[in-house]
Amino acid sequence: MDLLDVVLLVGGGLLAGSVNTMAGGGSLLTVPLLVLVGLPGDVANGSNRVGILASSLSASATFRRLGASGVSRALPILVPVIAGSLTGSVLISRLPAESFERVFGFLMVPLLFLSLRPPKLKAAGRPWTGPVASLVFFGVGCYAGAFQAGIGLLLVLTLSRSGLDVVVANSVKVVVNVVVTVTALPVFILGGLVDWGPALALAAGFAGGGAIGAHLTVSGGARVVRPVMAVAVLAMSGRLLGLY
């Protein structure tokens, strides 16, 4: 990496960390950014998990300090989520880099829409039965292990539908994100799909972005950050799809 690459990754991590705090979907920016600085798509997907782990651990510690830890409520769904995460990460690690870039490029646009305009969460109706919940969270784990991007929004939606209120769902979401990342990251490391230099530069930005995102949320800065995120993601999606 040269100095410009480091600046791009730290800056991208700051923006992505801010967006993750305000809405979710920061990986829609950081995975293509890692590709832009020269990493193959599959290595970018693996390296991005280092930053996600740093930001998720920080958020989880914050929830605990505030007395809103989601650890106990997360325990019943961890087995299917871990199984799904292992399945998804192993399968995606076998996908060629070029194929991953095309798949991720297509996913970016609908995920961007959901991140910028998430559906309104309503009070849960009848909670899922045990087998249904296990199947749903296995699927969530598969997606998280494979792609990660947008998983925060998906987790809040599924956790709310399973019977948790929105506040508890958010605290559980952070715990599940930590577990998913800890489960999937070794698969990418053992497969040689983590480039530690770019990964650590990005993680530094992610860590700072969480604090910035909290400040922007209070001050209304999301009005500025979200349009920037939209333009950046659409531009990078076109790059991954080979449109220019």
CA–CA dist 208, 201 (Å, integer): 11
Residue 44: helix, strand or coil by DSSP? helix
Domain boundaries, the chain: 3-240
pTM of the model: 0.78
**Lookup: tokens for 146:** 């494979």
Residue 189: pLDDT band with limits 50, 70, 90: very high
Kindly report the average pLDDT of the chain as a whole number.
78
- Interhelix angle 41-65/166-190, rounded to 10 degrees, is 140
Q: Helices (DSSP H) in the chain: which residue ranges?
A: 3-22, 27-36, 41-65, 71-93, 97-116, 130-146, 151-161, 166-190, 196-219, 222-240
CA distances 165 to 1, 113, 160, Å, are: 44, 24, 6
Alpha-carbon Rg for the chain, nearest whole angstrom, is: 17
Confidence of residue 152 (pLDDT cuts 50, 70, 90): confident
DSSP 121: P
- For the segment 201-220, the average pLDDT, to the nearest whole number, is 72
Q: Give 220's pLDDT tier (boundaries 50, 70, 90).
A: low
Going by pLDDT thresholds of 50, 70 and 90, the confidence category of residue 14 is confident
Residue 99, Ramachandran bin (φ over 0: left; ψ between -120 and 50: alpha; else beta): alpha
Tokens 């993601």 -> residue: 233
Q: What is the pLDDT of residues 77-129, one digit of tens each?
A: 888 999 999 999 999 988 888 888 888 878 877 776 766 665 555 544 555 66
